[in-house]
Amino acid sequence: MTGKTKRWDILFSILSLTEVNYLIPVAEKLTRSGHKVCFVLFHDAAKKLLSEKNIAFYSMHTLKETIPYSKLEIDELRDFQSQYGIANTRDLYIREKVGYNRNNEHELLKKTIHYLQIMEKILAENDVKLVMQTTGAFAANQAVYYAARKNNIDHVFFEHSPFNEMALFLLNTYSCDMSDEIMNAPVSVEDKIKVENYIRKYDEQKFLRAASDNKHLYSDMRLRKIINAENAKRLKRKIYHKYISREKEEYDEIAWVIRNNFTRMFHRLLLSRYYVKPRNQNDKYIYFPFHVPSDTQLLIRSPMFQFQECFIEYLSRSIPFGYRLYIKEHPAAIGGYWNHIIKKLIKNYGNISLIHPQVNSFDLIRNASLVVTVNSSVGFEALLQNKKVVVVGDAFYKNRGLTFDVYDLNKLGSLINNALNSCEPGRDDVLNFLAKVYKWSFPCALFKMEKESCESFYNYLQTTNFQRLKIR
């Protein structure tokens, strides 16, 4: 390898201890198979874990101290963005501004550019075949992604599939969409049967994911969601890393996170008088589920819908007279929305109902005349139930002939009217599409610390990426 220091068949980038703990067994198995594996760490506590396993790594926080930051003037910044294919550098750190209360834009820009410069050095000095990381909208995630693409190195994001205990692996893109190869391939009888069984189980259980998954994350925003053994353990670990071991990580705003959680609980309390539960199944309503604020689904894939409260105002004016607009907070973000705007909309428009967090989305979908979504998993659930869906954002189920797709928001009202007066999508067409989504997904329960899950992740690499990339 002329001019290259080391060869890395795969470079894992991680932000959290959960990620590194999940990927260590995968890395060990890859190493035993003869592959060269390395990690890029944005969490210094992982250094000890990897050192104990004799796994190579680069620590970004250490490299920030040893690799100097090259300041860019305005003209240089434009050229820099162009080299990396970045439309606006602000997009790389906006997640931290709106989601972590980091307001020093000059420092955020400096950190983001520095990460890109460090990644550029790592990739230029080493022969890297593949870069992998979990999907994220943080500056660290995006710096790794854009640096890999600039250097023509394949990059894979991995995230949960809409199907339970399955994963999606997105090659060289942030877009969550199926390839033409999968869409044009014939549907196997076996995959169709699996989907039918999945729908049958979903109808019986009335929820998409296992009830034990993230039970605290998806619980109501009450005191027990904040004060519990799991959060106490996490807080103890954060305090130890920040103040005792002095191990740096990307997101260690302990006081702000605690304050934000109690603020959300207070907001949930203030909204409690506005919560309602559907009483009459014959009510005509259109259902819009809130997305998690500042999530990749919004910030990266559908950025114009970041402030969903504003869209709800427009949506409430776009639905026909005689229909109500049912809105419901995402279970992982209860109390995390602009409650003063929601209260004002409910008072002023008269056709909006804020549904109680404890009401199951399954029933809201089942009894809705129409589901409107940006790109939520609720849209996928609606297809499982064979319901009509209006899609306003960038979703993998958009433009497949099954949904009513909005490309011009000025025409939202007329498209909603058209959807209400149309028939449900053909059941066989829906099943064929879902079977293709199933084939697109890979059997792998991400971040479950079980041997089978790590084996599945390893199998993905062996059967898909390594064969395609001809990695030994």
Tell me the pLDDT band of 216, cut-offs 50, 70 and 90.
low
Q: Rounded to an integer, what distance in angstroms lies between the CA atom of residue 69 and that of residue 77?
A: 13
The residue that leads in pLDDT, 253 or 24, is 24
Q: What is the pLDDT of residues 132-163, one digit of tens each?
A: 999 999 999 999 999 999 999 999 999 999 99
- Please state the rounded mean pLDDT for residues 351-378: 95
> How high is the pLDDT of residue 257?
84
Domain 223-435 top-level CATH class: alpha beta
Tell me the CATH number for domain 7-181+442-466: 3.40.50.80
Q: Is there a shared CATH topology between the 7-181+442-466 domain and the 223-435 domain? A: yes
Residue 310 identity: C
Residue 120 main-chain phi, psi, to 5 deg: -60, -40
**Predicted TM-score (pTM) of this structure:** 0.92
**Could you give the angle at the alpha carbon of 372 between the alpha carbons of 369 and 378, nearest 5°?**
95
Tokens linked to 27: 């890395």
Give the up-direction half-sphere exposure of residue 202: CA atoms within 13 A in the CB hemisphere: 24
> How high is the pLDDT of residue 471?
56
Domain regions of the chain by residue span: 7-181+442-466, 223-435
* Strand ranges for 74-216 from DSSP E: 127-128, 130-134, 154-160, 166-171
> How high is the pLDDT of residue 54?
96
Q: What is the pLDDT of residues 445-466, one digit of tens each?
A: 999 888 888 888 988 888 776 6
H-state helical runs in 350-450: 361-367, 377-384, 412-420, 427-440
Tell me the pLDDT band of 130, cut-offs 50, 70 and 90.
very high
Q: What percent of the chain has pLDDT over 70?
A: 95
- Please state the rounded mean pLDDT for residues 277-292: 88
Q: What is the pLDDT of residues 180-198, one digit of tens each?
A: 889 999 999 999 999 999 9
